[in-house]
Structure 1
Amino acid sequence: MTSDAPRPEARAPRGFNDRRARDLAAERQILEKVSAVYERYGFEAFDTGAFEYADALGKFLPDADRPNEGVFALQDDDEQWMALRYDLTAPLARFVAQNWETLPKPFRRYAFGTVWRNEKPGPGRFREFTQCDADTVGSARPEADAEIIAMVVEGLEAAGLPAGSSVVKINNRKLLNGLLATAGVADEGQKLAVLRAVDKLDRLGPEGVRLLLGEGRKDESGAFTKGAGLNTAGAEAVLAFVAAGAGGRVETLDQISNIIGGSAEGDAGLAELSAIHQALISLGVGPDRAVFEPSIVRGLEYYTGAVFEAELLLETKDDKGAPMRFGSIGGGGRYDDLVARFTGQQVPATGFSFGVSRLASALRAAGREQGGEARGPVVVIAFSQDDMAEYFKAAGELRAAGIAAEVYLGTSGMRPQMKYADRRLSPAAVILGGDEIAAGKVTIKDLDLGRELASAVTDNAEWREQRPGQQVVDRAELVATVRRILDADQLKVGK
């Protein structure tokens, strides 16, 4: 490339994040711990490809006014349109429809993987992120919903949230459908507009939702969102319904029963929630961990019955240390019609999904991050090109013992190499100078201990004489000495 050639600007697309070892380690720990819970409940690990045919994915995203209808799509060489999966549930429905005859029924699976959404990015809202799901396909029993909820409660606690720091809020789409049927709302588009309005209650408050239930609402930028078109009585009935969540689970069901007017669909929803309540009692999930909340509707269109959303209750702080409300950390529900898109035959299904990056962010914001700082490898200091074989031999011995190690392969001197090891958060540095090699010795510097001891040394001459955290041992003791340093570090952090 010539010097006057245009250079591209180094930048990441909006909504796509670069993640270093600390973030990846935290997410890996969450996935390992949650997966262990799912497997204890008898769920099978499963995955699908990143791409699905666009018609198989369906059009369920709420951000459907964008040109690409919420997905990233491309045309294959056979002229069929493919799209990156926007969640892990729609691909599951396709797989079940394709393999139903050979699957154990019900089919219980969990999955984690990257999903992509062509939506407007913003704080906490990404175009690429990792989801973790658990689903039961083939059971219409409310107990299947209850078991998913109980598993979510246990999984979140296993991931690092202490008991009582999150709550699963539960509702049933049939309740609101029953209310709207009583109010004379039959148009599916209008029903969907009502659901989407209610789904914004947390963000817009009752007055904002009241506008969206009616003629519409103009936001701060001046953009107008068309409303659901309910009359005043209908809008007030919906607002009364979503405000009926005070009290325990039984009390909430009683309040909802008084509001929805005894419609057939509403009564079916109440019966399902009552059965979920009884199952949750048997599963040991009390009202402090799972509540009935009529304002929870979930934004995706494919939910048909029970819906649930997990909310963080811990006090959290933003990057500047200011208190903030974190809100939802995952959700799900029943989607009995999704497989029927392919087969024409209804297959009951229920599941839950959480964003792994979002949960990791929630734990960090609450001061409960999993994994902490990502520790670097033991660094073997390189003094001379002539002794590279000795350096690699030392690194190889450490690696063979299961200890992460690297030989410094830059061109800097010893002091910058030590600074490099410090920046990598390395637990130790291995020093094999010519004198050590000739004498069959090795110098090992415990970097954590060195920092701790050096803080008490104020004189440079004293520091050079004491060489805090540094020890010389026989070359044969390299692995054992480094292992003791690592074991001591683990004890300090309580691992």
Structure 2
Amino acid sequence: MTEKTKLITPRLPRGFEDRSPGEIAAVGAMIDKIKAVYERYGFDPVETPLFEYTETLGKFLPDTDRPNAGVFSLQDDDEQWMSLRYDLTAPLARYFAENFETLPKPYRSYRQGYVFRNEKPGPGRFRQFLQFDADTVGAPGPEADAEMCMMMADVMDALGLAGKYVVRVNNRKVLDGVLEAAGVTSEEQKLTVLRAVDKLDKFGAEGVKLLLGAGRKDESGDFTKGAGLSDSQAAVVLDYVGGKPPADNEGVAELAAMQSLFDAAGYGPDRIKIDPSVVRGLEYYTGPVFEIELTFKVQNEKGQDVVFGSVGGGGRYDGLVSRFRREPVPATGFSIGVSRLANALKLTGNLGATEPAGPVVVLVMDKAETARYQAMVSELRQAGIRTEMFLGQTKNFGKQVAYADKRNAPAVIIEGSQEREQGILQVKDLIAGKQAAQAITDNAEWKAARPGQFEIKREDLVSAVKKLLSEQ
């Protein structure tokens, strides 16, 4: 490399993150528990690619030379626009429609994977994140929606969050009926009203009332413009928020049917409850909507106690598959935000985000004897023990042990010339050594004690290491 060659600065793009072995192992264990619940309910896995044709995604149609509003897009050799998926539901709709003739109906599946949003990143807001979805396509009744809610509750229990969550349920048709009764017709005003309802838990009925009218000023003086409803219009919405549903509404009947199923299956209101403030992306849903809310308190960036909030949700989306087929295709499902849920489990001590155990490391005390060390490594690997030979350039014993320690190795195997002549090996238990180190302060005493180190016969390598690992 010449002096003029400019080095590239290693930079992670904004809105993306690297993951350590500990985080990968912890999230993997969490996903295994979620899978077990899904499969107990009879759902099967399916995998779709990261890229879809942009028009297939539906929400972001190509209306510019480069369709990049919200999605990451590229053009292939056929001049077709493709985009990275922004969720796991739109690809499922495409998959079901494309394989309609061969798939069972209803079709019950789950999917996990990364999704991508071409949006401005911020605290806790990423441009790549992991989702875990389950969906039933082809079942029109509220029974399928109720099953989704019960499965969400069972997932939370399986993750050790019993008593710390509630699945909240509402229905798009109920909300549509309230808006109609209040005389709200414009799409913009509807959205503002629904956003106001969504703030019930945060601001209370008085705060919602302000947001339905002229607007609300918060403690900092920031003003949020309201929906501009008259007092009589706002009263209709507030009655609903207060627990008075619209009469003769199909959504109310569906919620009642779901409640009877929850009752029959033993899911009380401490786990699943009907809640009129649940809104969730209503441009997407056509019937029941639900979300998992974690109810324990955490501190926000201002040091204030706040409820952790939603870690996933979903609902009925009967119109999505019908974009690909003439006949109506009912569908319902939910999505778990894996990264956010992992953060919640970390806060409650249920994530188990400890660094995974590293490999046993066979030290290289003499380069000329590398073949002997390789033989030891092979014996241990064939016995199912995770093992590696030190491949660094240093001959220094202390530096090799320091490497093993950094790898979170449970033990190192040592064979110098003296051990080789005697047909023995030294095994250094790094776990016991760390524990003993806390009680030994004198360096000379440390060297003399050699805590955690013991001698074995060469032929006993596998059995001795197995015994050590079981004891650890």
TM score, norm. by length of structure 2: 0.90
Question: Partner of 1:256 in structure 2?
Answer: 244
Cα distance in 1, alignment partners of residues 7 and 217 from structure 2: 42
Cα distance in 1, alignment partners of residues 82 and 208 from structure 2: 36
Question: In 1, are the aligned partners of 2:30 and 2:351 still within 8 Å (CA)?
Answer: no
Question: Partner of 1:290 in structure 2?
Answer: 272
* 1:67-146 superposed matches below 5 A: 68-146=68-146
Which ranges of structure 2 fall in alignment gaps of 5 or more residues?
A: 62-66
Matched, 1:179 2:178: yes
Question: In 1, are the aligned partners of 2:200 and 2:277 still within 8 Å (CA)?
Answer: yes
**Offset of residue 192 of structure 1:** 3.5
Question: In 2, are the aligned partners of 1:177 and 1:191 still within 8 Å (CA)?
Answer: no
Question: Partner of 2:289 in structure 1?
Answer: 307
Matched, 1:479 2:455: no
SS at match of 1:256: coil
* 1:49-448 superposed matches below 5 A: 49-59=49-59, 68-158=68-158, 160-200=159-199, 213-214=212-213, 228-242=227-241, 244=242, 255-257=243-245, 260=246, 262=247, 264=248, 267-299=249-281, 301-316=283-298, 325-412=307-394, 413-448=396-431
1:124 partner amino acid? G
1:128/1:101 Cα in 2 relative to 1: closer, same or farther (>3 Å)? same
Question: In 2, are the aligned partners of 1:315 and 1:366 still within 8 Å (CA)?
Answer: no
1:278 partner amino acid? S
2:8 partner amino acid? P
Question: Partner of 1:36 in structure 2?
Answer: 36
SS at match of 2:48: coil
Question: In 2, are the aligned partners of 1:428 and 1:444 still within 8 Å (CA)?
Answer: yes
**Offset of residue 214 of structure 1:** 5.0
1:127/1:393 Cα in 2 relative to 1: closer, same or farther (>3 Å)? same
Cα distance in 2, alignment partners of residues 204 and 467 from structure 1: 63
Which is further off, 415-424 or 186-195?
Answer: 186-195
Cα distance in 1, alignment partners of residues 430 and 40 from structure 2: 40
Cα distance in 2, alignment partners of residues 387 and 452 from structure 1: 32
Question: Partner of 1:4 in structure 2?
Answer: 4
Question: In 2, are the aligned partners of 1:60 and 1:300 still within 8 Å (CA)?
Answer: no
**Offset of residue 277 of structure 1:** 1.0
**Offset of residue 198 of structure 1:** 3.6
2:141 partner amino acid? R
Question: In 2, are the aligned partners of 1:71 and 1:84 still within 8 Å (CA)?
Answer: yes
The one-character-per-residue Cα deviations of 1:12-49 (angstroms, maximum 9, x if unpaired) are 11110011101111111111111111111110110111
Which is further off, 129-138 or 435-444?
Answer: 435-444
Cα distance in 2, alignment partners of residues 317 and 387 from structure 1: 57
Cα distance in 1, alignment partners of residues 399 and 260 from structure 2: 64
**Offset of residue 351 of structure 1:** 0.7
1:20/1:278 Cα in 2 relative to 1: closer, same or farther (>3 Å)? same
Question: Partner of 1:459 in structure 2?
Answer: 442
1:289 partner amino acid? R
Cα distance in 2, alignment partners of residues 415 and 11 from structure 1: 33
**Offset of residue 463 of structure 1:** 2.2
**Offset of residue 171 of structure 1:** 1.0
Question: In 2, are the aligned partners of 1:316 and 1:362 still within 8 Å (CA)?
Answer: no
SS at match of 2:310: strand
1:178 partner amino acid? G
Which ranges of structure 1 fall in alignment gaps of 5 or more residues?
A: 62-66, 245-254, 490-495
1:362 partner amino acid? A
TM score, norm. by length of structure 1: 0.86
SS at match of 1:478: helix
Which is further off, 47-56 or 408-417?
Answer: 408-417
**Offset of residue 317 of structure 1:** 5.8
Question: In 2, are the aligned partners of 1:296 and 1:307 still within 8 Å (CA)?
Answer: yes
Question: In 1, are the aligned partners of 2:182 and 2:237 still within 8 Å (CA)?
Answer: no
Identity fraction in percent: 54
Which is further off, 76-85 or 450-459?
Answer: 450-459
The one-character-per-residue Cα deviations of 1:75-100 (angstroms, maximum 9, x if unpaired) are 22222221111111111111111222
Cα distance in 1, alignment partners of residues 58 and 215 from structure 2: 27
Which is further off, 212-221 or 197-206?
Answer: 212-221
Cα distance in 1, alignment partners of residues 299 and 227 from structure 2: 36
1:361 partner amino acid? N
Which is further off, 429-438 or 19-28?
Answer: 429-438
CA RMSD for the aligned pairs?
2.8
1:357/1:236 Cα in 2 relative to 1: closer, same or farther (>3 Å)? same
Question: Partner of 2:453 in structure 1?
Answer: 470
Cα distance in 1, alignment partners of residues 437 and 405 from structure 2: 14
The one-character-per-residue Cα deviations of 1:373-431 (angstroms, maximum 9, x if unpaired) are 22211122222211222222222222222221111222232112212222222111111
Cα distance in 1, alignment partners of residues 259 and 469 from structure 2: 48
Cα distance in 2, alignment partners of residues 484 and 155 from structure 1: 36
**Offset of residue 197 of structure 1:** 4.4
